[in-house]
């Protein structure tokens, strides 16, 4: 059975979007797509979006900051993946870069990357994982959006930390 989307009035669409935007951050592009799905005309879309922006239901800069915080803290994405996600939502690149720079502390970023590298290496067998394990970890970190050079450094450092710990604990058991 093919479902038929019903058209709604611009006033009803505005009312629904106010409730939606009050619950969670939305960007202009998300709202625009929703209005197209509701079959609202282009002139009404522009006036609805303008109204929402004037009353601060939509603020792309505020959205960018919230998006960066959520993706970094909860999804553990790297900078590159976050920037690509913001680009997909049509957030201007300068605004996206500014949000990333302000929301992600350099030291915490690398500490999180190092922690992820250690955890993934340990899952693969630690020091015994060897070159193949390190390569797998590197690929997974790069696919999570971390910069390749930074991820490679973290994998090397994680392998050294794991080897040092194995040496310390191995030496005590003798």
Q: Over the range 38-51, which residues count as b (16 or more CB within 10 Å of their CB) and which as e?
A: bebeeebbeebbee
- What is the per-residue pLDDT across 26-68, written as a single tens digit (0 to 9) for each? 999 999 999 999 999 999 999 999 999 999 999 999 999 999 9
| Residue 70 CA neighbour count, 13 Å, CB half | 10
pLDDT digits over 70-85, tens only? Answer: 999 999 999 999 999 9
- The angle that helices 28-37 and 10-23 make with each other, rounded to 10 degrees, is 140
Residue 75 near residue 61, CB atoms below 8 Å: no
Determine the Cα–Cα distance for residues 145 and 50; give it in Å rounded to an integer. 33
């Amino acid at each position: 059975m093919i479902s038929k989307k019903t058209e709604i009035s611009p006033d009803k669409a505005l009312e629904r979007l106010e409730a939606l935007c009050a619950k969670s951050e939305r960007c202009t592009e998300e709202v625009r797509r929703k209005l197209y799905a509701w079959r609202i005309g282009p002139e009404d879309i522009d006036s609805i979006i303008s109204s929402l922006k004037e009353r601060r239901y939509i603020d792309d800069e505020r959205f960018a900051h919230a998006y960066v915080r959520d993706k970094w803290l909860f999804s553990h994405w790297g900078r590159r993946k976050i920037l690509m996600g913001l680009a997909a939502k049509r957030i201007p690149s300068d605004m996206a870069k500014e949000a990333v720079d302000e929301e992600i502390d350099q030291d915490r970023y690398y500490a999180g990357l190092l922690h992820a590298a250690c955890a993934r290496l340990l899952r693969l067998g630690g020091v015994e994982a060897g070159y193949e394990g390190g390569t797998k970890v590197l690929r997974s970190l790069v696919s999570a959006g971390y910069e390749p050079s930074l991820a490679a450094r973290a994998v090397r450092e994680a392998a050294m930390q794991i080897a040092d710990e194995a040496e310390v604990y191995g030496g005590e058991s003798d």
